[in-house]
A and B are shown apart, each in its own frame.
Chain A
Amino acid sequence: AQKVTQAQTEISVVEKEDVTLDCVYETRDTTYYLFWYKQPPSGELVFLIRRNSFDEQNEISGRYSWNFQKSTSSFNFTITASQVVDSAVYFCALSDAYNFNKFYFGSGTKLNVKP
């Protein structure tokens, strides 16, 4: 069965520090998608990235970077030089191989960035 684990419930950092959010997933499928979403206090989940299971290249987008490692079933998210506006709950999600529209979300990691 598909499962996503985000072991870090809450992380607090000081502005400008780097922070990594961990995501470990379980699936028996060889084809799947992984996602990261951000949920600010307003409540709306904001899409950050999608990665398919055949693309293990790391990705960088500004201060955000993602490290996908199939060998350890991990899809970790790093924020470099964190800012107060990065404070939010971050969710990792896995989509079903036979139905790419079915998402399995982790329990989320709350990131607090203090000035």
Chain B
Amino acid sequence: EAGVVQSPRYKIIEKKQPVAFWCNPISGHNTLYWYRQNLGQGPELLIRYENEEAVDDSQLPKDRFSAERLKGVDSTLKIQPAELGDSAVYLCASSSRDGSSYNEQFFGPGTRLTVL
């Protein structure tokens, strides 16, 4: 079974530029999460989707961040414009409501963003 796929793995941009991250969750997982992980810290939830609906986006900085999950599968997280403080690893995770792995989150390798 393929895991959570994210691209790109690394991105370097200058401040004020836009950037987008893509995530493909595990097949059949209806819940998708975007986390931001700052250096030396644990992941912090940005947004959670149940199918195509964003059910928790309370931590998403909506002035510059946006996300979408069309058709309830792949998701894109966008930052426009990027600021220096956005440098972090952006992690995508997915989970299923079914079976013994209920609420166990499976993580992708992340996208390391550097804003210069």
Chain A residues at the B interface, C-beta cutoff of 8 Å: 4, 9, 33, 35, 37, 42-47, 50, 91, 93, 95, 99-103, 105-108
Number of A-B contacts (CB under 8 A): 55
* Nearest CB on A from B91, distance (A): 7
Q: How far is the CA of A82 from the CA of B76 in the complex (A)?
A: 39
Q: How many interface residues does B have (CB within 8 Å)?
A: 25
Please state if A44 and B56 are interface contacts (CB–CB under 8 Å): no
Pull 18 A–B residue pairs with CB atoms less than 8 Å apart, ordered by A.
A44-B3, A44-B110, A45-B43, A45-B91, A45-B93, A45-B105, A45-B107, A47-B104, A50-B103, A91-B42, A95-B103, A100-B102, A101-B31, A101-B103, A105-B42, A105-B44, A106-B42, A107-B41
* Nearest CB on B from A88, distance (A): 13
Residues of the A chain whose Cβ atoms lie less than 8 Å from the Cβ of B3: 44
Q: How far is the CA of A50 from the CA of B3 in the complex (A)?
A: 19
Contact of A100 among B44, B89, B103 (CB under 8 A): B103
